[in-house]
């Protein structure tokens, strides 16, 4: 049962329970009471039935079928989030190319020397702690993107602004006076999955904000509950993508592999990710 039908069932159950209570109080001899009592009992059994224990098969089924479908539902908001990120990143890049001194002030102090940066492979013993730190940061950003919907989307948009401008300015500084293959080999291997995950979560946050702002014609509480449930499921389903991105960033990006090999990871992950998310398209839309 999908979220919309479940919300409708809960609403009808509450109405039936209210009517039953009224009849028992004011019309105890009504012939409708036995039938209504049966309906309320059956509705209660469905809504409040004991939850099944989460199984590996259920998780796999959710990730394989349900998650791509949920992403498809919020695709327009995800497209809007992607457009915002592209515009901001390009603006940050152009700013850094035109006025590198001023643009560098936007970055944390530890990143301002990126123009003269040269990568040195990270020892294997340090890769796991690095990956763990990356997981933590990525999960925080994704939860901020999703939960920001409850602030009318303000925090979601702020997260998009901050991360996109950081990426744009950093890239602009690192690629002066010309393109740096070394820099891009440190960004694109994990960037495809990571940025897609952030975009999906931001789309879920914007969809939640839309439900908060305009709930008509249905009750606002119903719209927010449904959008909130969907956003929470999308956030949960995005975690494996962030783990994959963090693994690549923690073990592939800092390694001593040739730049060409690292750069080749990006199109490979893009193809697999696109095929996976495409599963969410309805048969009519896919055809």
Alpha helices (H) along the chain: 3-26, 32-47, 56-61, 67-73, 75-98, 100-104, 124-147, 154-174, 181-213, 220-247, 259-277, 283-286
- Sorted by where each begins, the domain ranges of the chain are 1-50, 65-286
What is the maximal distance between C-alpha atoms in the chain?
88
Residue that the structure tokens 């500084």 belong to:
173
- Is 70 exceeded by the pLDDT of residue 52? no
Q: Which residues contact 205 (CB under 8 A, 6 or more apart)?
A: 145, 146, 147, 148, 149, 153, 155, 156, 231
pLDDT in tens, 116-153: 666 555 555 455 556 667 778 888 999 999 999 999 99
Residue 279: closest CA among 87, 82, 63, 51:
63
Segment of 43-47, 154-158, 180-184 carrying the highest mean pLDDT = 154-158
Contact status, residue 204 vs residue 145, Cβ threshold 8 Å: yes
Residue 86: closest CA among 177, 186, 167:
167
Coil/strand/helix, residue 166: helix
Q: Degrees (nearest 5) of the Cα angle 276, 274, 58? A: 15
pLDDT in tens, 79-121: 999 999 999 999 999 999 999 999 999 998 877 777 666 655 5
According to the model, what pLDDT value does residue 244 have? 93
- Is 80 exceeded by the pLDDT of residue 54? no
Contact status, residue 67 vs residue 149, Cβ threshold 8 Å: no
Contact status, residue 75 vs residue 206, Cβ threshold 8 Å: no
Cα(first)–Cα(last) distance of the chain, in Å?
A: 25
């Amino acid at each position: 049962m999908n979220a919309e039908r479940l919300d409708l069932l809960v609403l009808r159950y509450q109405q039936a329970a209210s009517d039953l209570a009224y009849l028992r109080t004011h019309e105890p001899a009504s012939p409708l009471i036995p039938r209504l009592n049966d309906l309320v009992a059956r509705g209660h059994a469905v809504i409040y039935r004991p939850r099944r224990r989460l199984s590996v098969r259920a998780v796999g089924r959710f990730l394989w079928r349900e998650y791509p479908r949920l992403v498809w539902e919020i695709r327009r908001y995800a497209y809007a989030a992607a457009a915002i990120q592209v515009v901001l990143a390009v603006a940050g890049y152009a700013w850094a190319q035109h006025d590198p001194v001023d643009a560098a002030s936007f970055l944390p102090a530890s990143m301002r020397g990126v123009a003269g940066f040269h990568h040195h492979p990270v020892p294997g013993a340090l890769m796991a702690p690095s990956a763990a730190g990356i997981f933590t940061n990525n999960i925080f950003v994704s939860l901020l993107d999703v939960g920001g919907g409850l602030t009318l989307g303000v925090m979601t948009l702020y997260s998009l602004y901050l991360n996109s401008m950081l990426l744009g300015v950093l890239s602009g500084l690192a690629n002066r006076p010309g393109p740096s293959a070394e820099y891009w080999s440190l960004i694109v291997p994990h960037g495809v999955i990571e940025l897609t995950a952030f975009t999906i979560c931001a789309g879920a946050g914007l969809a939640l904000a839309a439900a908060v702002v305009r709930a008509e014609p249905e009750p606002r509480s119903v719209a927010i509950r449904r959008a909130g449930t969907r956003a929470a499921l999308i956030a949960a389903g995005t975690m494996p993508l962030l783990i994959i991105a963090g693994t690549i960033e923690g073990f592939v990006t800092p390694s001593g592999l040739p730049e060409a090999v690292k750069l080749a990871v990006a199109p490979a992950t893009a193809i697999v990710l696109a095929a996976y998310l495409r599963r969410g398209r309805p048969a009519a839309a896919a055809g």
